[in-house]
Chains A and B, each alone.
Chain A
Amino acid sequence: MTEEKKTPILRIRSLTKQYDNSQRVILPRIDLDVYPEDFLCILGPSGCGKSTLIRCIAGFEDYEGTIESNGRIVKKPGTDRIMVFQDFNQLFPWKTVVNNITYALKASGMADKKARIAKAEKYLKKVNLFDYKDYYPHQLSGGMKQRVAIARGMALGSSIILMDEPFAALDAMTRNRMQSELLHIKEKESMTVVFITHNIQEAISLGNRIMVMSRNGEVKEHLYNTLEKPVTPATPGYGALWKHLNDLLTEERADDK
Chain B
Amino acid sequence: MKKNIRLIAQILFVIAFLILWQILYSLQIWPPLLFPSPGMIAEAFVKAFTSKGLGPMILHSLRLLLIGLLLGVSVALLLSALSAINEVFAAIYNMIVSMFDLIPGIALIPVAILWLGIGDGAIIFMVFHSVVWPMSRSIINGFNSVPNIYLEVGQNIGLNRIRLILGVFIPAALPHIFSGLKVGWARAWRGLISAEMVFGGGTALGIGYYITDRRTNLDVAGIFATIIAIILIGLVVEYGIFMVIEKNTFSKWGMTR
Partners in one complex: yes
Q: Which residues of A contact B (CB under 8 A)?
A: 58-60, 76-79, 81-83, 85, 87, 89-90, 92-94, 103-104, 107-109, 136-139, 152, 156
Tell me the nearest residue of chain A to B156, going by C-beta. A77
Q: Which residues of B contact A (CB under 8 A)?
A: 147, 149-150, 152-159, 163, 167-168, 171-172, 174, 249-250, 252-255
Q: Is the CB of B149 within 8 A of A90?
A: yes
CA distance A59 to B172 in the complex (A): 23
- In the complex, the answer to whether B254 meets A107 with C-beta atoms within 8 Å is no
Contact in complex: A93, B157 (CB < 8 Å): no
11 new A-B contacts, CB < 8 A, other than A79-B156, A107-B154, A137-B254, are A83-B156, A85-B149, A85-B152, A89-B147, A90-B149, A92-B168, A94-B172, A94-B174, A94-B249, A94-B250, A104-B157
Whether A92 and B156, one on each chain, are in contact in the complex, defined by CB atoms closer than 8 angstroms, is no
Contact B254 A139 (CB under 8 A): yes
Contact (Cβ within 8 A) A136 B253: yes
Distance, CA A125 to CA B154, complexed state (A): 24
> Chain A contacts of B154 at CB under 8 A?
107
Chain A residue with the shortest CB-CB distance to B174: A94
Q: Which residue of A lies closest to B170 (CB)?
A: A94
Residue on A nearest B154 in the bound complex, by CB: A107
* Shortest beta-carbon contacts, A-B, top 7: A138-B254, A104-B157, A94-B171, A77-B155, A77-B156, A107-B157, A93-B253
Q: Chain A residues with Cβ under 8 A from B156's Cβ? A: 58, 77-79, 81-83
A93 touches B255 (CB 8 A): yes
Residues of B contacting A137 in the complex (Cβ-Cβ under 8 angstroms): 254
Q: Is the CB of B171 within 8 A of A107?
A: no
Most chain B beta-carbon neighbours within 10 Å: one of A60, A79, A83, A107: A107
Judge whether B153 and A90 touch: CB under 8 Å: yes
Task: Tell me how far the C-beta of A35 lies from the nearest C-beta in chain B, rounded to whole angstroms.
Answer: 23
Is B167's CB under 8 angstroms from A103's CB?
A: yes
For this complex, 13 residue pairs linking A to B, each with C-beta atoms less than 8 Å apart, are: A59-B155, A60-B152, A77-B155, A79-B158, A83-B152, A87-B149, A92-B168, A93-B255, A108-B157, A136-B253, A137-B254, A138-B253, A138-B255
The residues of A that contact B255 with a CB separation of less than 8 Å are 93-94, 138
The residues of B that contact A79 with a CB separation of less than 8 Å are 156-158
Tell me the bound Cα distance from A109 to B160 in angstroms. Answer: 12
Cα A81 to Cα B152 with chains together (Å): 12
How far is the CB of B250 from the nearest CB of chain A, in Å?
7
With A83-B152, A92-B150, A92-B153 known as contacts, the answer to whether A107 contacts B159 (CB < 8 A) is yes
Whether A136 pairs with B252 at a CB distance below 8 angstroms is yes
Alpha-carbon separation in the docked complex, A82 to B252 (Å):
28
Specify which of A60, A77, A109, A139 lies most central, judged by the most chain B CB atoms within 10 Å of its CB: A77
Q: From A60, which residue of chain B is reached at the shortest CB distance?
A: B152
User: Is the pair A109, B158 in contact by a Cβ cutoff of 8 Å?
Assistant: yes
B160, closest chain A residue (CB): A107
B150: which A residues are within 8 A, CB to CB? 89, 92
Write the chain B residue with the least CB distance to A76: B155
